[in-house]
Amino acid sequence: MVGSVWAALGLSLTCISAISLVSPAWFQTTTFSFGVLTYCSWPQGDSWNQSCGTFQSLDDIPDFAWKVSAAMLLGGWLLLAFSAILLLSWALAPKGLCPWRGSGPVPGVQAAAAIATIMGLLVFPISLASPFAKEACVASSMYHGGQCQLGWGYVTAILNAVLASLLPVIRRPHVTEVQRRTIFFSSDTESIILVPETTK
């Protein structure tokens, strides 16, 4: 049961991360917004009539810091997706099939995904000094948005990175059977908690 919840949490964070990556609402003005992979423009006062574009490859991204950030964020997303697929397969597999389900490489992969995502989020505002961002945001510079405001896509990516960094911490405890008593081993303290035997 706990493994299923953990798998669902991992899958939902992967989906939220993908949405924030393709969102053009990381930095925005009254007529223009841009994110890591997409950008949109619209007439003054008519945000429903948007014209959007995407950066098809890293070569199309206008700044080196932006490219580094995109590569780190995409790498973090791929690691998060890989760990979510592993968690889902362990949650759906029969109990005897995966002896170390929920442990093993998954917490390390999740931690690496969180670190890559956080680093990408820290590098991305450096791209506000690029000519593309200066034209869109007027007087923007490194870590200063000029006339651009922070959008929901960047905030969602930050919250997702924080939650993804908590995934390895809240992993399920190890359980083993000794003398017909269930003993929980907490991965944080390695102390033993005895649980009284239940009658069947």
The three-state secondary structure class of 69 is helix
| CATH for the 1-93+103-172 domain, from 2.60.40.730, 1.10.3720.10, 1.10.10.10, 1.20.140.150 | 1.20.140.150
**What DSSP character marks residue 183?**
E
Q: Which two tokens stand for residue 184?
A: 């929980």
Q: Taking the CA atoms of 19, 22, 25 and 31 in sequence, report the sign of the dihedral they define.
A: negative
Of residues 108, 37, 38, 119, the one with CA closest to residue 79: 108
pLDDT of residue 25: 87
Task: Assess contact for 74 and 97: CB atoms under 8 A.
Answer: no
The alpha-carbon radius of gyration of the chain (Å, integer) is 22
pTM of the model: 0.74
Ranges of each domain in the chain: 1-93+103-172
pLDDT at 199: 64
Residue 46 has pLDDT above 80, yes or no: no
Do 128 and 142 touch, CB atoms closer than 8 A? yes
pLDDT one-digit tens code per residue, 137-154: 888 888 888 888 888 988
The reported pLDDT for the residue numbered 184 is 55
Which amino acid, one-letter code, is at 162?
V
Average pLDDT over residues 106-115: 78
